[in-house]
Amino acid sequence: MSAASFPILITGASQRVGLYCAERLLDEGQAVIISYRQERDSVAHLRERGAIALQADFSEEAGILAFIEQLKGHCDGLRAIVHNASQWLAETPGEEAEAFRQLFNLHMLAAYLINLHCSELLLRSEQADIVHVSDDVVRKGSAKRPAYCASKAGLESLTLSFAARLAPRIKVNAIAPALLMFNEGDDAAYRSKALAKSALGIEPGPQAFYQSLRYLLDNPYVSGTILSLNGGRHLK
């Protein structure tokens, strides 16, 4: 595989924003590898379009390391890694420690181990990027989901550490989105309340995230940055 065709890895790309980004990259002729947790029609569709789809379980260290070995068997270089895999996990009474462990493994340990063990693949590309997907909730904290918020805050810290560690050859940044797109079951009252939290008051859709990702991939002079994508929520 030539350096020009090294793929971009997007974790958790079977639905929503990750799926949209994979589709757009494929539209542009970019080779793509995705990870997914469970089989969906969307995964089969991406395979039909030429993407490599690898099943992965990031809830345990063993699953993360197994994914890394599987990945290395499918490519000899990477253009970028986008750590998109995420879970909006509630902390139910009596199971808080388990929720914290799962969120730590998914949002932090997976990114940490993949970055460590796959940086050699990125170094084979003339341009190389790592993009962590954080969350705007880190800015204020979360009374309802402190474990989720803490694990995303840790991911932002990893962004700074890896940006320093891997410079100058690999740029490392993060995107911290707020509301991008509603779920089908969200009712009108919820939608109205959610939109009112931002100064711009819109549902921007996944394309707003892709534009941010494209900016980080294309700009050669940005590293160690947490890119806020919140429609001006910090103004209200």
Q: Which residues form the catalytic set?
A: 148
Q: Where are the beta strands (DSSP E) in the chain?
A: 8-10, 32-36, 52-55, 80-83, 129-133, 171-177, 226-229
68 with 110: CB under 8 angstroms? no
* 206, 181 contact by CB (below 8 A): yes
Beta strands 129-133; 80-83: pairing state: parallel
Task: Using DSSP bridges, classify how beta strands 32-36 and 52-55 pair: parallel, antiparallel or unpaired.
Answer: parallel
Token code pair at residue 62: 């063993």
Cα separation, 22 vs 32, whole angstroms:
7
- The answer for residues whose C-beta is within 8 angstroms of residue 174's C-beta and 6 or more apart is 131, 132, 133, 134, 155, 156, 159, 225, 226, 227
Q: How far apart are CA 31 and CA 84, in angstroms?
A: 17
